[in-house]
């Protein structure tokens, strides 16, 4: 593998050992039972590294076979990452039946829209389609995380520190993937060196965040809070919304008067 | 192609700002985002004093008797009173809004249209509130409209309280939710 620069090899090795360390940490504290899909994601990333290492050794860095292995395993890892983020969403919101139904619909719609929109912008060649797919998935994951946090804030749903850290890791890695894919599509058509180095550095940062988050055993998701009878929402919330609407109209009037004065 | 290239950067920038804001806000809100214990309370009990303080006749009466420096200070004080009053209006609005959000969060079913409508109204209210706040800072004191707003809010609170009383046991649940210290923030963990 002479094509791969020393720095990249060092970073790759570091990320591999950190990744293995994360998997072992999850197993040691039995956190794989609490966050099974996150564990699958971490394990799939280890599997990808091993598969890539084998492919590069066997066929060389720039061979079509290595490229196929690279993109094939990338598809698996990206899907596992999406599922791990879905698990986080479930952990935060599923306790609240009503808003979870609403949030689920919103998150799935947003993810599908963003991924398809991003993918639709790809050019006709295979490389562009693959890059766009990866970028679309990363952008969808980042969007889902932002919407999830906005919903949590709006409904004052508290976030566990672990969830907060894991989410930060996913978000940073995802937006970096978007930027990386966009830059590489535009400027670095013939070189993937920078893409690999920067991507590995971001992945290492995310691995450190996740290792920090899972440095101790995690509790199973808290039990559902006692729900109010359905009729409470039906009776009070439309009334509140109606009054808020009137209040807003009053403020409009208020503002109109101000406008005339000025 | 160039446009699309910059579009992705812009989208990432927006997402990043929203991410930092929502994370910071949710951290800070741990102490701040509480459900008001007295949902029916309103600033309206201070309205006579506020009206007196803002009355033009009062100002005219004093203006003939005091120096320009004192008049300026008085104008500044009146403006501060108006700003404080507006802040209280927003506090009432936010308190009622928080109650609605908690009811939604603890309900087995929510109506998307109602939830969306409230988000829309909240954004609209906050934006207009900011404009009015700035125009007050610039020296305007639109008292009549402020009185309307005050009446509206107090009426809203009273009706909400009535509705809760009519709901009997269910109202007690909501009341408990609002008053128990460990349930002010949704945090069953």
Domain assignment present for residue B188? The answer is: no
Q: Looking at the complex, report in whole angstroms how far the Cα of residue B109 sits from the nearest Cα belonging to chain A.
A: 4
Examine the pLDDT at A188 and tell me if it is beyond 90.
no
B136 or B177: which carries more pLDDT confidence?
Answer: B136
Q: What percent of chain A has pLDDT over 90?
A: 51
A149 touching B (Cβ < 8 Å): yes
Instruction: Please report, for residues A100, A113, B43, B101, the alpha-carbon distance to residue A96 in angstroms, rounded to integers and kept in the order given.
Output: 6, 25, 33, 12
CB contact under 8 A, A237 and B96: no
The answer, yes or no, to whether residue A142 has pLDDT greater than 90, is yes
Check whether residue B18 and residue B80 sit in a common domain.
no
- pLDDT value, residue B48: 60
Buried b (16+ CB within 10 A) or exposed e, B92-101: bbebbbbbbb
Q: Among A139, A227, A253, whose Cβ lies nearest the Cβ of B145?
A: A253
Structure tokens at B6: 């910059």
Strand blocks (E) in B47-159: none
The answer to whether residues A46 and A73 touch, using CB atoms and an 8 Å cutoff, is: no
**Greater confidence, B142 or A138?**
A138
- CA angle A97-A102-A103, nearest 5°? 95
Q: How does the average pLDDT of chain B come out, rounded?
A: 71
What CATH architecture does domain A6-218 belong to?
Answer: Up-down Bundle (1.20)
Contacts of B10 in chain A (CB under 8 A): none
**Contact map slice: B 44-83 vs A, CB within 8 A:** none
What does the alpha-carbon distance between residue A248 and residue B123 come to, in Å, rounded to a whole number? Answer: 10
Query: What ipTM describes this predicted complex?
Result: 0.87
**Residue B90 and residue B63 share a domain:** yes
Q: In terms of CA atoms, which chain B residue is nearest residue A226?
A: B106
CB contact under 8 A, B22 and A142: no
Q: Nearest-CA distance from A53 to chain B in Å?
A: 31
Overall average pLDDT of the A11-30 stretch: 95
Nearest CB to B114: which of A145, A146, A241?
Answer: A241
Q: Which residue has the higher pLDDT, B146 or A230?
A: A230
Closest CA to A139 of B98, B120, B19: B19
Q: Using the predicted structure, report yes or no on whether residue B124 has a pLDDT greater than 70.
A: yes
User: Among residues 86-125 of chain B, which lie with CB inside 8 Å of chain A?
Assistant: 93, 96-112, 114-115, 117-119, 121-122, 124-125
Same domain, yes or no, for B136 and B149? Answer: yes
Task: Count up the domains in chain B and report the number.
Answer: 2
What is the Cα Rg of chain A in Å?
23
Residues B20 and B91 in one domain: no
Domain range for B7 is 1-32
Residue B132 lies in a domain: yes
CA distance B54 to chain A (A): 17
Poorest-pLDDT segment among A2-11, A177-186, B45-54, B85-94: B45-54
Examine the domain organization and report whether B166 and B75 are in the same domain.
yes
Lowest mean pLDDT among A147-156, A226-235, B9-18: A226-235
Model confidence pLDDT, tens digit, residues B45-92: 565 666 666 667 777 787 778 888 888 888 788 778 777 877 877 877
Q: Which residues of B touch A255 (CB under 8 A)?
A: 128, 131-132
| Residue-wise pLDDT tens digits, A209-224 | 999 999 999 988 777 7
Res A163: pLDDT: 94
| pLDDT band (50, 70, 90) for residue B100 | confident
Residue B96 has pLDDT above 80, yes or no: no
- Across the interface, whether the CB atoms of B26 and A158 are under 8 A apart is answered yes
Whole-model pTM? 0.80
Answer whether residue B105 is part of any domain.
yes
* DSSP code at position A125: S
pLDDT of residue A243: 73
Same domain, B96 and B11: no
Place A81 in a pLDDT band, splitting at 50, 70 and 90: very high
| Stretch among A149-158, A182-191, A253-262, B116-125 having the lowest mean pLDDT | A253-262
Angle (nearest 5°) at CA B68 between B63 and B72: 85
Query: Average pLDDT for residues A21-39, to the nearest whole number?
Result: 96
Asked if residues A32 and A26 have their Cβ atoms less than 8 Å apart, the reply is yes
Is the same domain home to B28 and B41? no
Distance CA A261, CA A212 (A): 57
User: From B11, which residue of chain A is nearest by alpha-carbon distance?
Assistant: A139
Reported confidence tier of residue B32, pLDDT bands at 50, 70, 90: very low
- Residues B82, B157, single domain; the answer is yes
Residue B173 has pLDDT above 60, yes or no: no
Q: Is A222 in CB contact (< 8 Å) with chain B?
A: yes
Q: What is the pLDDT of residue B110?
A: 92
Distances (CA, A) of A97 to A10, A18, B72, B106: 47, 37, 56, 8
Q: In the structure, what pLDDT confidence band is assigned to residue A33 with cuts at 50, 70 and 90?
A: very high
Is A112 touching B (CB cutoff 8 A)? no
State whether B42 and B115 are in the same domain.
Answer: yes
Residue A258 has pLDDT above 70, yes or no: no
pLDDT at B8: 86
| Å between A57 CA and nearest CA of chain B | 35
């Amino acid at each position: 593998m002479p094509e791969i620069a020393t720095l990249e090899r060092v970073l790759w090795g570091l990320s591999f050992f950190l990744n293995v360390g994360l998997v072992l940490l999850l197993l040691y504290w039995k956190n794989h039972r609490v966050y099974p899909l996150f564990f699958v994601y971490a394990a799939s990333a280890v599997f990808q590294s091993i598969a890539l290492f084998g492919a590069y050794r066997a066929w060389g860095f720039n061979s079509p076979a290595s490229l196929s292995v690279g993109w094939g395993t990338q598809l698996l890892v990206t899907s596992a990452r999406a599922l791990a983020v879905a698990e986080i969403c479930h952990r935060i919101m599923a306790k609240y039946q009503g808003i979870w139904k609403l949030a689920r619909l919103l998150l799935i719609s947003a993810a599908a829209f963003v991924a398809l929109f991003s993918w639709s912008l790809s050019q006709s060649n295979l490389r562009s389609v693959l890059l766009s797919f990866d970028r679309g998935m990363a952008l969808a994951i980042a969007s889902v995380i932002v919407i999830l946090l906005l919903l949590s804030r709006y409904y004052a749903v508290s976030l566990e520190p672990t969830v907060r850290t894991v989410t930060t890791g996913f978000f940073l890695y995802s937006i970096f993937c978007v930027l990386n894919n966009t830059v590489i599509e535009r400027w670095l058509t013939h070189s993937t060196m920078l893409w690999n180095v920067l991507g590995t550095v971001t992945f290492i940062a995310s691995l450190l965040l996740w290792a920090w988050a899972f440095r101790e055993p995690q509790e199973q998701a808290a039990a559902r809070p006692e729900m109010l009878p359905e009729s409470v929402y039906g009776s009070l919330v439309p009334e509140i919304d109606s009054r808020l609407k009137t209040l807003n109209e009053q403020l409009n009037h208020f503002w109109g008067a101000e406008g005339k004065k000025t | 192609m160039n446009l699309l290239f910059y579009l992705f950067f812009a989208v990432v920038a927006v997402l990043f700002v929203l991410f930092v804001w929502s994370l910071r806000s949710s951290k800070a809100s741990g102490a701040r985002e509480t459900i008001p214990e007295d949902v029916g309370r309103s600033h309206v009990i201070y309205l006579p004093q506020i009206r007196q303080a803002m009355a033009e006749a009062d100002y005219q009466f004093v203006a003939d008797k005091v120096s320009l420096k004192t008049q300026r200070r008085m104008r500044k004080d009146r403006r501060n009173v108006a700003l404080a009053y507006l802040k209280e209006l927003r506090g009432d609005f936010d308190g009622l809004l928080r109650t609605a959000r908690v009811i939604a969060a603890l309900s087995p079913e929510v109506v998307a249209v109602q939830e969306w409508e409230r988000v829309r109204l909240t954004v609209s209210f906050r934006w207009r509130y900011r404009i009015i706040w700035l125009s007050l800072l610039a020296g305007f004191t639109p008292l009549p409209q402020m009185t309307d707003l005050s009446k509206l809010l107090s009426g809203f609170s009273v009706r909400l309280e009535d509705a809760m009383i009519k709901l009997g046991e269910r109202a007690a649940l909501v009341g408990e939710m609002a008053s128990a210290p460990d349930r002010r923030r949704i945090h069953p963990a």
